[in-house]
Amino acid sequence: MTTAAPGGESRLALTAGIVCYLIWGIIPLVFQVMGRLGMSPLEILANRTVWAVPMALIFVLAARQGPEVLAAFRNPRSLAWLALSAVLICANWSIYIWAVNSGRVLETALGYYINPLIGMAAGALIFNEKIDRLGYVAIALAAIGVVVQAVAVGGLPAVSLALALSFGGYGIVRKRVAVSAQAGLLVECLLLAGPGLAYVLFLQKMGAGHLTASLPSTLWLLSCGPFTAVPLVLFSWAARRIPLSSLGFLQFLGPTTGFAIGFMEGEAFTPLRGLSFLFIWGGAVVFAYAAWKRSRPELRATELVEPAE
């Protein structure tokens, strides 16, 4: 639940949220650089699972959440849920890394535009959350956008739907386990790091790995850790201190940045494909407006606790 923060902290939290989503937005460029250095999507993924562990561990120790991590490993139910969430986020990472290195950045942007709307629908179906009229309008606009996109590309936008469904499923699973974002990320990365490390060592033994190929390759692969853990921690910190309406707007910064990258890189953008994005953007605007409307009482409460400056 978002709590009202004093004025200075609220502005700092808003900045943290913006930085978080901008990092997620520019990540396609990071993975593309690695691809140009000769790294396969699987090698990038394996290194991401490995080098996210020390970064996630640093944040867990800083937050003194070590006991929470140990408790998750001792609880079979929590561990099973986190194992499932690890599989889902691994699938999401795999598809994303492959897509951005295959000239499909626009498709990834579409996936993350419709992800919040899928989350809204899933909340109603699974958690009995109420959807108002604006919510139904947003979902309908997104559905029309997906249909138009399917016509534009000659089939269902599989990459977009796979990203949206895998990340949406990840959010649903994580909502069912009472573990904080940092502690949960560390558990997930520890579960994934075993196979990831085995593959990294295999590549190195075969002389096909890039971890020690050159200084740039080493630094880029090591950067997978911060690029994975830092934005999640920024998001977790910001989400507790700024209104949900602000988060509703901010979450579209990532795919908008991705869209700009794909467009500037010259990916195919036909008029029909442009029409599909207009519907998606319409759904996103309605979604954000609905979030703002729902949180107006919270905004007024925040204003009451902010000191005069």
DSSP string for 127-194: H-----HHHHHHHHHHHHHHHHHHHHHTS--HHHHHHHHHHHHHHHHHHTS---HHHHHHHHHHHHHH
Asked if 282 and 137 count as a contact pair (C-beta separation under 8 A), the reply is no
Round to whole Å and give the CA distance between 264 and 254: 16
Place of tokens 């937050």: 63
The residue written with tokens 């009995």 in the block is 128
Query: Which positions ≥6 away from 290 have C-beta within 8 Å?
Result: 132, 134, 135, 138, 248
The domain segmentation of the chain, as residue ranges, is 7-305
Instruction: Give the model confidence (pLDDT) of 42-96 as tens digits.
Output: 999 999 999 999 999 999 999 899 999 999 999 999 999 999 999 999 999 999 9
Instruction: Say what the pLDDT of residue 202 is.
Output: 96
What's the confidence (pLDDT) of residue 2?
46
- Asked if 112 contacts 95 with a C-beta cutoff of 8 angstroms, the reply is no
**Mean pLDDT in residue range 2-8:** 50
Report the amino acid identity of residue 12. L
Residues 6 or more apart from 15 whose CB is under 8 A from it?
none
pTM here is 0.85
In Å, how far from its chain's centre is CA 305? 31
SS3 5: coil
Q: Is 171 buried (19+), middle (13-18) or exposed (0-12) by CB count in 10 A?
A: middle
Instruction: Give residue-wise pLDDT tens across range 179-236.
Output: 888 898 899 999 999 999 999 999 999 999 999 999 999 999 999 999 988 888 887 7
Round to whole Å and give the CA distance between 63 and 57.
10
The pLDDT assigned to 116 comes to 77
pLDDT band at 9 (very low <50, low <70, confident <90, very high): low
Confidence of residue 306 (pLDDT cuts 50, 70, 90): very low
CB 257 within 8 A of CB 25: yes
pLDDT for 138 beyond 90: no
Taking the C-alpha atoms of residue 97 and residue 132, their distance in angstroms, rounded to an integer, is 35
The answer to whether the beta carbons of residues 119 and 71 sit under 8 Å apart is no
Task: Tokens for 268, please give them.
Answer: 């195919």
In SS3 terms, 56-103 reads as HHHHHHHCCCHHHHHHHHHCHHHHHHHHHHHHHHHHHHHHHHHHHCCC
